[in-house]
Amino acid sequence: MAIICSVGKAVPTYELEQNSVKDLVKGLFSYSNREINRLLPVFDHSAIKTRQFVVSEKWFMEEHSFEERNSLYHLNAIQYTLQAMDECLNEANSRESIAYEDIDLLVFVSSTGVSTPSIDTFLMNERPFRPDVERMPLWGLGCAGGAIGLSRVFNWLKANPTKTAILVNCEICSLTFQKSDQKKSNLIGTALFGDGISSVLLLGDHSRFREHLTKPSPRIKNYSSYTKKNSTEIMGWKIIDSGFEVIFSKSIPALVKTVWKEHMEHFLKQEELTIDEVDGFIAHPGGKKVLEAMMEVFDIPLDKLEYSYQILQNHGNMSSATVQYVLQRWLASDVERGKKALLTALGPGFSSEILLVEWN
C-alpha cells in the first residue's frame, strides 16, 4: 500500500475571470457573428469562474512558434514545479521533517510540453535530491495522468515498502494554444483549460516516517486501469508543424455513462463495496457535464463531489494536475479515520483510472 502524506501546488501568476476569456475569444476566432454567438454559451455553462495561466492575456493575441511555446513550457515547468515540491515537503503530515535527500523516487507527469532530458533531471539540479534517486517521467496520459501517476507510485512502493516517493503533475495548457487554429475543439478548449502544477508525497507501508504522522492519512489500497480499444480519436493531441492541436470529442460525457460506469461497477465488485459505502469521490473535474454524468449514473449526491466542483470553479480543467488539487482539499478537510473515497480520472486512450483510498 501507499500512504498519501501531503499535496503541494503552485498557482500560476496570471488569473483571468471566465467572462474575460469569453471576451478575448471573440477577437481570436474568425467566425461569423451567428456562429460565435452559438458557441460562446459554452463559457457560461462551464461552471468555471476563474483560471490561472503562466502568460498574460496579451500573449494569446499574438502568434507564437512551437519552439517559443515549448521554451516557455520548459522554463515555467521547472519554476512552478519547484514551488509545488517545496510546499509539498513543507506541509508533510509528519513530526519529523522530510527532505529532498529522503526521496527515493521522483515521478514527473505531463502532456503539455516536451523535454529531453526530461524535466525531472532539471529539478534534480535545483534541489538536493540524491544522485541515486530513481526517476519515472510519464508523458501523454493527459487528464488521466494524475490518477495513473498515483497508481504507478503505488506499485513501486508496494515493491519498495520502506521508501518514499514524490509525484509531480505539471500541465501548462495555455502554452499549447495556437491562434491560427480555428477549429471548434480549440474554442471549446479555451473555455475549459487552465494551468496547474501539483506535487504529492507518498510513503511506503514500512517507511520510517510512518510513525511520525500527526493525523489520519489516506492510504491507497488498490487501483484499476481500463483502456477502451479503438478510441484514440476521442481526446488528445494531433502533433502538427506548429505544435499541439487539441482533439476533444463531444462524446466524452456519454462515455462516462458507458465506459466509466462499467469500469466503476467492475472495481466496486472487485473490492466488495457498494456505491453507498463510498464516502466521497476525489474526481478529476474534466468539465461540468462530466461531473453531472458521474452523479447521474450512480445517483451520487452533490456533497460527495463538492471539492471537484470547487476546483473546477476556481481553476478550470488543468489536465492531470486537477485531481491533485481536489485531493489537497480532501486532505485539508480532516477526514475521519475509516472513511473511504474513490479517486478517479478519465483521459486519452480512451482510458479510465480508479483508486480506492481509506483514511487510516
Active-site amino acid positions: 143
Angle in degrees, CA 357, 236, 320, rounded to 5: 30
